[in-house]
Homo-oligomer: A and B are copies of this chain.
Amino acid sequence: MATLGLIEYKDASPEVRAVFDDIMATRKIDWINNFWKALASDPATLRRTWESVKQIMAPGALDPLTKEIIYVAVSTTNQCTYCIASHTAAARKAGMTEAQFAELMAVVGMANETNRLASGYQVEIDERFKA
């Protein structure tokens, strides 16, 4: 069970409901996932985290699908079970195909491999990369 429990919409304070409402409106959905219900025990963190996520994940120089793909790459590298599940779902909702998922996994796997080869062989940074 979540450490401080999950706060459902019907039991939420007006302050928490306002954030829940904004999450549902922004994402055009009618439910709240457990991550936000867990954070709702700390309304300040709930609001700050949501405001940051909303700002960062909005379309910009990178499109929303690319941003979700980056999120899955980080969550997979960190082996965060919850985050892999929730952001893989989000990436699919944003249009990720099975072929794109498979390539994403291939790149994430390879990068984790070469990261260790570079460190383990104690490779020095090329001057050209320091500019």
Contacting residues of chain A (32-73) with chain B, CB-CB under 8 angstroms: 33-35, 38-39, 41-42, 44-45, 48-49, 52-53, 55-57, 60-62, 66-67, 69-73
In whole angstroms, how far apart are the Cα atoms of A39 and B98 in the complex?
12
Interface residues of A (CB under 8 A from B): 1-4, 31, 33-35, 38-39, 41-42, 44-45, 48-49, 52-53, 55-57, 60-62, 66-67, 69-89, 97-126, 128-131
A82 contact from B67, B99, B118, Cβ within 8 A: B118
In whole angstroms, how far apart are the Cα atoms of A129 and B80 in the complex?
14
A79 touches B117 (CB 8 A): no
Q: Which residues in B have their C-beta under 8 angstroms from that of A66?
A: 66, 69
B89 touches A4 (CB 8 A): no
CB-based nearest B residue for A118: B82
Sample 23 A-B pairs with CB under 8 A, ordered by A number: A1-B130, A2-B121, A4-B98, A33-B126, A44-B106, A48-B106, A53-B110, A56-B103, A61-B100, A61-B103, A62-B100, A66-B66, A67-B103, A70-B104, A70-B111, A73-B73, A74-B107, A81-B125, A84-B122, A86-B125, A86-B129, A110-B113, A112-B113
